[in-house]
Amino acid sequence: MAEEISPDLGFIKDIIAWGGDSLKKCFQCATCAVICPLSTDTKPFPRKEMIWAQWGLMDKLVGNPDIWLCHQCNDCSLHCPRGAKPGDVLASVRRYSFMNYAFPRFMGRLLSDIRNLPYLLALPMIIFIILLASIGHLNIPEGEIVFSRFFPIFYIDVVFITVSLLALLSAGIGISNFWKGMERNSNPWMPGTGMGLIPSIISTVTQVLGHNKFKDCGVNKDRYRAHLLVFYGFVGLFITTNIILVLVDFLHIETPLPFIHPAKILGNVSGIAVLVGITLVLLNRLKNKDITIATSYDWVFIWMIYALVISGILTEVTRLAGIPFLAYPIYLIHLVVVFYIIGYLPYSKLAHLLYRSVAMVYSRYSGREGIII
């Protein structure tokens, strides 16, 4: 019996609105699937994804691991004879996919609309102001600049540990929904018929650490270096934050740490790596603007990373320069941006790393051949 097709018109509308507006131009020539450096002869993409998207087969697409195996190099878009930009269509489908699996789902929707940005930033600012007002710290402290005298470490810990745990929980539920979605949609590639789960995880982690797939890109080769810098920059910042947590909370070491303290050096080097990496991402997007579309969603992500690094650098510079009326407010802004990056991670572009990694694990674990290298 023929499979009944029920198009999801809302899905098509969102895909088009989120940068996939060239979708209808595709006439199924399959050039993209041949050109794609990550597609294989036996499990090709993105031609089938293009037709599924045209037909509005939302369920088939959002739980399809192949949409995450694409690394958006846009070799396919460069060679598509119809200008259908399959690279951008897949990016749009990925965005829909993790919005669909996000928990709570309304947060995914909130983050996907740039008009909500002021409210998303206002939330942490209001929390911080209420907190500071309630402990009588809503003023610029006298004397040497020490941020913990303005925002006590105890309250920083309470806010950010809570936010991190909530983000972890949301991401965990989203990923679990995604895994179930892949199980429903990936027949015959079912879990347990490929590599073991642990070897699948090890193989994926090795690949992510080396960013090997980015090396296969043609047009967008520069993305390899850019992504690598941003990735390891964030890893360095994550390690630094945890070292400082241990130093301050458990070893009761006073802050600020001296400039030559290893944790300080790691933090500064990591911040510079993120800054250089995101600048390369920006330059790369500008260079390839004819091949790929940068949506407002992409731009918000880039500007928020800039806001994170620049507010961090200015916090340190104004402290060292001894300008309290600038240092404390900039520090507060920096905390708002950190809250945005951590708290909204399960719904932002940073969630790509999670979803792509899980799709890669699933592909290995389910016996979907051709991507195991």
Residues making contact with ligand SF4 (CB under 6 A): 26-32, 35-36, 38-39, 45-47, 50, 70-76, 80, 82, 84, 86-87, 90
**Token pair 């610029």 in the structure block, residue:** 140
Helix (H, G, I), strand (E, B) or coil at 48: helix
- Tell the smallest beta-carbon distance from residue 172 to ligand SF4 (Å): 27
Report the residue number, 214 or 344, with the smaller CB distance to ligand SF4: 214
Q: Output 39 or 92, the one with its CB closest to ligand SF4.
A: 39
Q: How far is the CB of 356 from ligand SF4 (least distance, A)?
A: 11
Q: How far is the CB of 370 from ligand SF4 (least distance, A)?
A: 13
Nearest approach in angstroms of CB 282 to ligand SF4 is 19
Q: What is the largest CA-CA distance in the chain?
A: 80
Task: Measure Cα distances from 226 to 72, 223, 274, 299 in Å.
Answer: 14, 5, 9, 16
Q: Which amino acid is at 286?
A: L
What's the rounded Cα separation, in Å, for the pair 358 and 243?
A: 28
* Residues 181 and 101 sit within 8 Å (Cβ to Cβ): yes
Specify the residue, 53 or 333, whose C-beta has the smaller distance to ligand SF4. Answer: 53
* Closer to ligand SF4 by Cβ: residue 331 or 355: 355
Q: Work out how close the CB of 362 gets to ligand SF4 at its nearest, in angstroms, rounded to a whole number.
A: 17
Q: How many whole angstroms separate alpha carbon 233 and alpha carbon 266?
A: 9
- Report the nearest approach of ligand SF4 to the CB of residue 183 (Å): 23
Task: Between 36 and 336, name the residue whose CB sits nearer to ligand SF4.
Answer: 36
Q: Which of 42, 57, 40, 49 is nearest to 80 (CA)?
A: 49
Closest contact distance (angstroms) between CB of 26 and ligand SF4 is 3
Which CB, 38 or 275, lies closer to ligand SF4? 38
d(C-alpha 327, C-alpha 260), whole Å = 21
| Shortest CB 85 distance to ligand SF4, Å | 8
**Nearest CB to ligand SF4, comparing residues 74 and 366:** 74
Please identify which residue in the block is written with the tokens 């073991």.
196
Q: Which is nearer to ligand SF4, 47 or 364 (CB)?
A: 47
CB atoms within 10 A of CB 72: 18
CB of residue 35 to ligand SF4, shortest distance in Å: 6
Q: Are the C-beta atoms of residues 352 and 94 closer than 8 Å to each other? A: yes
Nearest to 317 by CA among 334, 302, 295, 297: 334
What is the rounded CA–CA span in Å between residue 258 and residue 255? Answer: 8
**Cα–Cα distance, 292 to 312 (Å, whole number):** 31
Backbone angles phi, psi at 48, to 5 degrees: -65, -35
Alpha-helix runs per DSSP H in 222-367: 223-245, 262-287, 296-320, 324-343, 351-365
Task: Name which of 82 and 225 has its Cβ closer to ligand SF4.
Answer: 82
